Amino acid sequence: MKRKLNIRAILVFIIILLIACDGENDNSIEEEYTQDFQDEVIQSVEDEAISEVDEIEAIATYEEYPEQGYIYDINDTSFSEWGSFGDGLAWVYYHNSATEIDKWIALDKYGIAQFYIEGERTTRPERFDNGYTHFLRENGSHYKIVDTEGNITHYTAGRNVLAHGQGYTVILEHVSGFDDNYYIYTVYDPYGSEVDSAQWEEDRINIEFGGERIFNFMNFMTGTLWLFNIENVEWINTGFVPYFGEKQAIDFYEDWTVLAVRTGGAETNWHSTLKLININGENQQTLLPREETNGGVNGGNWSIDSAILADGIVVISDLNGWLVTYDIQADTFYIIDDEWSERFDRDYDLTLNNELITAHVRGDDRLTYVVVFDKEWNVITEPILSSGFWGFSYERLVVRTMRNDNYLGLVLNEEGQEVFTFDIQNQNIGWNNMTSYFEEILRVIDDYNVRYYDLEGNVLFTEIDISNFN
């Protein structure tokens, strides 16, 4: 570049010299014109040279300083806290140690940054759901709500947020005075507008977001479960009073949830009762199976904590590990064969999705295997050596397994056929490093090696583009 500038300087000098020699007898007007021309030529050359220098410096910056050049490798150490996709976006945390810049960046499925929220790692966003994400502080307190356009729609810092979900919050306010002492529980929409509220004279109310646009309010003083339907703006008194220590957090799936299991007596011939409830507060109950065995009784002591409900199917086990499924619509039970029941550990891993049950079982070699069953306990896949699995989602099951003394991720379809595999460097890769598929995308973080796979095993992107911010 310097050589190029020297040549141009020589040319300018020659032009000026020729003009000077030719204009020795010119009048003052011609001398003024000549000086102007010389100035224009010199300025033009200098401007062009500066422009080219800037261009070259910009290219060098693009390669050497990506925070100014807008393109990063996906595994650049400036990034961390990789999130799963929701509403077409995934969060990633960006920290520039040189400039002390901290941002939460929302990426699309091509690795292109759509917007960012300034902030430190002390606040963390949840996965986008229903068009919104909730930012929480490290202590779990609610901070703010952001939509998929990057707008902060509701600040909640400093307020007593008891529950949240899909952009909605429940905030507690205590009204006290000489004649007043009560508590107001207000439901707010994603923009901070009041949806509805309830008033109780006590603050012993346990509130959970149960999915399906439902908040659960368990009043410990009266022992009554209330549901609030956000969509219908409706309070529902279920009339349900839980026993001491009974399940209280209620997660709805496709309008239904398992409410309780009640131990039976003589009136039910000692059969326990399975209680279900839908988002309209309607109850359904049925007697659970029970059978005498040489060693005791199966179905004599059910575990409510083991109950899973999805796709109109309930999976539940007793404390002996005896497993059954219940088809709600058909009102039919299916009992697992003893051959398989004996292979389940007491603290077994089990998921239910698309009427497929994925579970860890113990082999005769005392190693752990993963097996897939249908709702009637027919085996879909033969046992696969496993040190972890992520249940079916978007017709894909993810298994951490070993082949030829190497750890790898194995992705299967619902027929049990292998779709693709991927290498795993860290054999202890945990639940926070891999997830089930969200929005047809699998996230894997393996010793800072980040990958996002589609359903067929294609890597979605290998670079992060933040040029939208500049």
User: CA-CA distance, 224 to 220, in Å (whole number)?
Assistant: 7
pLDDT at 280: 86
- What is the reported pLDDT for 283? 85
What does the pLDDT read at residue 119? 77
DSSP helix/strand/coil, 391: strand
Query: Could you give the CA distance from residue 154 to residue 162 in angstroms, rounded to a whole number?
Result: 15
Residue 79: C-alpha distances to residues 54, 91, 110, 116, 424 (Å): 29, 10, 16, 13, 20
- Token duo for residue 64: 């050497």
| 272 to 277, 322, 327, 437: CA distances (angstroms) | 17, 14, 17, 36
DSSP, res 178:
S
- Tell me if 400 sits within 8 A of 424, measured CB to CB: yes
From first to last of the 470 residues of the chain, give the pLDDT tens digit. Answer: 333 344 444 444 444 444 444 444 444 334 443 444 344 443 443 444 333 333 323 222 223 334 445 889 999 988 988 999 999 999 999 988 777 778 999 999 999 999 999 877 788 999 999 999 999 998 889 999 999 999 999 999 989 999 999 999 999 999 999 999 999 999 999 999 999 999 988 777 889 998 888 999 988 777 788 899 999 999 998 888 777 656 555 778 778 888 888 888 888 888 989 989 888 888 889 999 998 877 778 888 887 778 888 888 999 988 877 899 999 989 999 999 888 988 887 667 889 998 999 999 999 999 999 999 999 999 999 899 998 899 999 999 999 998 888 889 999 999 999 999 998 887 666 666 788 999 999 999 987 789 999 999 999 999 999 887 75
Query: What pLDDT does residue 406 have?
Result: 87
Residue 96: per-residue pLDDT: 80
Q: Residue 347: its pLDDT value, please?
A: 65
| pLDDT score, position 69 | 53
pTM for the structure as a whole: 0.79
pLDDT computed for residue 188 by the predictor:
97
Radius of gyration of the CA atoms of the chain, in A: 33
